[in-house]
Copies of this chain bind each other. A is one copy, B any other.
Amino acid sequence: MIPRYSRQEMSSLWSDEARYSRWRDVELAALEGMVEAGLAPREALADCLARAGDFTPQDAAKIEEIERTTKHDVIAFLTFMEERVGPSARWLHLGMTSSDVLDTSLALTLRDALDLILKDVDRVMAAVEKRAFEHKHTLQMGRSHGIHAEPITFGHKLAIWYDELRRARVRLEHARDVIAVGKISGAVGTFAHLPPAVEEHVCRKLGLKPAPASSQVVQRDRHAEFFTALALLGSSIEKFAVEIRHLQRTEVREAEEPFTAGQKGSSAMPHKRNPILSENLTGLARLLRGYAVSAMEDVALWHERDISHSSVERVIGPDATILADFMLIRFARLMEDLRVYPEQMKKNLDLLGGVVNSQRLLLELARKGMDRQAAYVIVQRNAMKLYEEGLDFKQALLADEDLRKMMTPEEISDCFSPGYHTRHMDDVFQRVFGRSA
């Protein structure tokens, strides 16, 4: 992933040094398992533990240099380790296949990536929750089809987001469980050269579960689930971002992305505060969806494995996790500092002069026994006056004689009380947050 969209916290998980450290961890854990199973001498393990060491960028470069000869990454790594550790290193990897190392350490990386992403999601959720309560009663026009419908509160909108984020979180947690499996089952998964006990030891040591059954590799439906969970997360963030873009439109301007004091707009026009963060998030979500497509095609490997998935994962492994992390942090900051304009929300709410309350009148008339069609005629003819004569809807209604036969002025006025639309916010918040204040 390009540096522009990479945070060090995540991209460092994918560095060469980090990769070789994982491989070392897996190899050492496996050797320990062999020792426990009586398959290797304890001294060899002690030796390896003492000398394995960490990996500098220079080490990584050296391993890569070896790979140019061996044309095999794991063999290059082992060759390097033999030089570093000495004779005891020949006990490393004994009876293992490359995929034992690669898949188990990929699981570690993806798990850690998910842990970071989950932390990011928590930050986003906290920000959304805070803003939701802040605006629990901030009235705003609800819109369907982009057209004014009935009032909501801005906090209600955010409560819906929070609820959606929780679902995203559950999916990610599930993907974490699914991906956090290791395998030390050998070339075709039969434990031909090392018993299951070694695999179990490695997994216990590294915080993974053993894949109940594996071929040469861990099955790729697990990884496909991982990448689709990220794509779904991205799609939800896109939804929020699209909403912010809508609210920041010049004609709507009910909210704006944060901008810093000295920040210069793209031109001399002071109104030109563009929702570029949200637009950026919208685009990045498209990338995550594309990666999910590639990942789903990886599932159908041939026989006990072919290596077609490898190139895909080398690319989308870092790309998808780095982007997801970047998106979440960008979105968290955006939400933490989102500028909300309740005044403008109120102004837009009144744009159609109370016509948005027409449904309430209809219902009131219906409950009083008026026929649906008759009620509709009364309400519509008064609503039309706004358009045709510029007449205020409420005033028009109060002057309508047919209506007055059914409703008192007080009852009519009641249909315009703003509290009506927000009186169940406590219920919604209770459901979503487990608390209403």
B contact residues around A101 at 8 Å (CB): none
Residue of chain B at shortest CB distance from A367: B94
Minimum Cβ distance to chain B for residue A322 (Å): 10
Are B150 and A187 within 8 A (Cβ)? yes
Minimum Cβ distance to chain B for residue A373 (Å): 10
CB of A66 closer than 8 Å to a CB of B: no
Are A296 and B306 within 8 A (Cβ)? no
Q: Which of B191, B283, B363 contacts A309 (CB 8 A)?
A: B283
Q: Which of B71, B274, B424 contacts A190 (CB 8 A)?
A: B424
Q: How far is the CA of A349 from the CA of B150 in the complex (A)?
A: 27
CB of A151 closer than 8 Å to a CB of B: yes
Are B250 and A156 within 8 A (Cβ)? no
CB of A238 closer than 8 Å to a CB of B: yes
Interface residues on A, range: 35 or more
A185-231: which have CB < 8 Å to B? 186-193, 195-196, 210-216, 219, 221-222, 224-225, 228, 231
CB of A248 closer than 8 Å to a CB of B: yes
Are B145 and A276 within 8 A (Cβ)? yes
CB of A22 closer than 8 Å to a CB of B: no
Minimum Cβ distance to chain B for residue A268 (Å): 4
Are B72 and A250 within 8 A (Cβ)? no
Are A187 and B363 within 8 A (Cβ)? no
Q: How far is the CA of A424 from the CA of B266 in the complex (A)?
A: 24
Are A306 and B146 within 8 A (Cβ)? yes
List the number of copies, as a whole number: 4
Minimum Cβ distance to chain B for residue A188 (Å): 3
Q: Which of B95, B190, B264, B276 contacts A142 (CB 8 A)?
A: B190
Minimum Cβ distance to chain B for residue A130 (Å): 16
CB of A159 closer than 8 Å to a CB of B: yes
Are B192 and A360 within 8 A (Cβ)? yes
Are A359 and B193 within 8 A (Cβ)? yes
Minimum Cβ distance to chain B for residue A83 (Å): 13
Minimum Cβ distance to chain B for residue A265 (Å): 9
Are A144 and B287 within 8 A (Cβ)? no
A290-343: which have CB < 8 Å to B? 290-294, 296-312, 314-316, 318-319
B contact residues around A298 at 8 Å (CB): 283, 286
A128-158 vs B, CB cutoff 8 Å, 1 = contact: the mask equals 0000000000000111111111111100110
Q: Which of A24-32, A51-59, A398-406, A427-435 sits within the interface?
A: A427-435
Q: Which of A108-116, A118-126, A376-384 sits within the interface?
A: A376-384
Say whether, besides A151-B190, A352-B250, A270 and B387 are in contact (CB < 8 Å): yes
Minimum Cβ distance to chain B for residue A147 (Å): 5
Q: How far is the CA of A146 from the CA of B371 in the complex (A)?
A: 44
Residue of chain B at shortest CB distance from A379: B268
Are B376 and A268 within 8 A (Cβ)? yes
CB of A279 closer than 8 Å to a CB of B: yes
B contact residues around A238 at 8 Å (CB): 299-300
CB of A394 closer than 8 Å to a CB of B: no
CB of A98 closer than 8 Å to a CB of B: yes
Are A221 and B164 within 8 A (Cβ)? yes
Q: How far is the CA of A286 from the CA of B144 in the complex (A)?
A: 20
Are A224 and B215 within 8 A (Cβ)? no
Minimum Cβ distance to chain B for residue A193 (Å): 6
- Would you list 21 pairs from A and B whose C-beta atoms are within 8 A, ordered by A residue? A5-B311, A141-B250, A145-B302, A146-B303, A146-B306, A148-B269, A149-B187, A157-B215, A157-B304, A190-B422, A193-B363, A196-B428, A232-B299, A238-B299, A246-B302, A246-B303, A270-B384, A279-B307, A279-B308, A280-B310, A285-B300
Besides A147-B271, A189-B428, A190-B428, 11 more A-B contacts (Cβ < 8 Å) are: A70-B264, A143-B304, A145-B305, A146-B302, A146-B303, A167-B178, A167-B225, A224-B232, A235-B300, A269-B355, A287-B316
